Structure formats: C-alpha cells, structure tokens
Amino acid sequence: MDSENETIEPPARHDAVAGGPRISGAPPETLKKRAEFLACARALKQAMPGVIVQARRRSPADTAAPRVGYTCSKKVGGAVERNRAKRRLREAARAVIPALGRPGWDYVLIGRAGATAARPFETLIADLEAALARLHAPRGGGERGRE
C-alpha cells in the first residue's frame, strides 16, 4: 500500500438541513445572557407556523450588527429534537438575518413543537422572512413604524 499518494478524505460534516446545501457566510452574533433573552421577551413578537420571533431594538444609538438567540422548550421534544430544531433555526438565521435583520436589534427565534424540525427548510426560511417583514412593517394609526 502506497501511503504517500493516498489521500484521506475528512468525514463529511452533517448539515443542519439533511441533504441540503450549507448556507455560506458568517453566522450572526448570538445572545448568551438570560437578561438579553428576557428583554426580547418583553418586546415585539411575531408568531409564524414554523417559528416565533421576538425582537427588540437595543438603543437608537446602537448600530452594531443584529444579534440572535435560539431557544426551544421541552414541548418541542427531547434533547435530540430540540437540538435539531435549533440547528435549523441557526441555518435559517444565517440565511435571512444578514439581509433582513436591522442593525442595533436583538432577535430571539423560538422553535415550535411539531413544526420547526418537520417543515421543509425553504418554508422555514419563508416563515422567518415574513415574521421579520411584519415586525419591521409600519404600524397603522399614523405612527412612523418600527425602526
């Protein structure tokens, strides 16, 4: 056996979307502290069939990149199901937040029982895009909108 000419392929990385392409690009900065999650929970919310999105503006002067947190309750399932749902949410955020997320905002993506892991990935992305569009849409009643 000629080991000098033989190349060993690294093991294939398991994508968050089985059989789908991996979204390129850096992932958004993540929320890590409980206080950051609680602050988002007190702010705007938008429920979609595949995901619930909570959003808040940090401060008008803050123009840093958007930050994202991910969570799934035990209603989603055991640890394996929750982790799978969070992996899918991370990949959806990687695809959508750089384009539709606003600087200076925090977002929390909450997995939904029986939906986040089961929905087709393209539909999950569409849910996230629609939720962000609704969260940032101008409100009725003469207000300026959610900037």
Asked if residue 62 is part of any domain, the answer here is yes
Query: Which CATH number fits the domain that encloses residue 40?
Result: 3.30.230.10
Residue 75 has pLDDT above 80, yes or no: yes
The strand pair at 44-47 and 29-30 is best described as: unpaired
Residue 43 has pLDDT above 60, yes or no: yes
| pLDDT band, residue 19 (cuts 50/70/90) | very low
Asked if residue 121 is part of any domain, the answer here is yes
Structural domains of the chain, count: 1
| Entry pTM | 0.79
Asked if residue 140 is part of any domain, the answer here is no
Task: Point out which residues pair with 107 in neighbouring strands.
Answer: 55, 68
What is the domain range of residue 105?
29-135
> Directed axis angle between helix 121-135 and helix 79-100, to 10°?
50
Least confident of 3-12, 76-85, 93-102, 129-138: 3-12
Residue 2 has pLDDT above 50, yes or no: yes
Predicted local distance difference test score (pLDDT) of residue 26: 75
Task: Please state the rounded mean pLDDT for residues 119-128.
Answer: 96
Phi-psi region of 104 (alpha: psi -120 to 50; beta: other; left: phi over 0): left
Predicted local distance difference test score (pLDDT) of residue 132: 96
Predicted local distance difference test score (pLDDT) of residue 3: 53
Least confident of 8-12, 21-25, 41-45, 115-119: 8-12
Asked if residue 7 is part of any domain, the answer here is no
Asked if residue 22 is part of any domain, the answer here is no
